[in-house]
Amino acid sequence: MAKKIFPKEDVCVGCHLCEVYCVYAHSKYKKPNAKVHELVKLYIKHKDSKPTSRILVEEKSGTWTTFALQCRHCDDAPCTKACITGAMKRLEDGRIVCDEEKCVGCWSCIMACPHGAVRRGENKKAASKCDLCLELGEPACVKNCPNEALEIKEV
């Protein structure tokens, strides 16, 4: 069984803290026991050199509805089929990841993703997408959402 993150748009308030924590989890700017306001300051201070957030808060046009958009780790994974180098691949645990060393920046995966969840990475050479932060135990966005608008489930 694979793990996937599901947004709960009925409780998302659009605070963007999922983006902040995602960037922090994937950045070199580590500060033990950092408080939220310190993370936001780091996010703003280093915004030109910060890692790309692997989650994006979207708004439904004309409404107050917001939700977090991240990789769905699709069963058929069009991004892996579109990848010309094999950099975008499925791991044994079901996650779809991008091997940045193999990625040539052709952006086929970006065009193939039906959810808009793959973006150019911070170095603009390789694609960037949600990797579920499994090396951290649980995704930073899920763990730190103040309104519990994100949940991770086995599917």
What pLDDT is attached to residue 154? 85
Cα dist. 64→19, 76, 104, 109, 149 in Å? 19, 32, 38, 30, 15
Return the pLDDT at 138. Answer: 86
pLDDT tens, position by position, 103-155: 999 999 999 999 999 988 876 789 999 999 867 888 999 999 999 999 998 88
pLDDT tens column, 20-76: 888 888 876 666 566 666 766 766 665 555 567 788 888 777 677 788 888 999 999
* Rounded-to-integer distance, Cα 135 and Cα 133, Å: 5
pTM for this one?
Answer: 0.79
Domains of the chain: 3-71+130-154 (no CATH), 74-115 (3.30.70.20)
Which position has the token pair 């694609």?
127
| DSSP designation for 52 | P
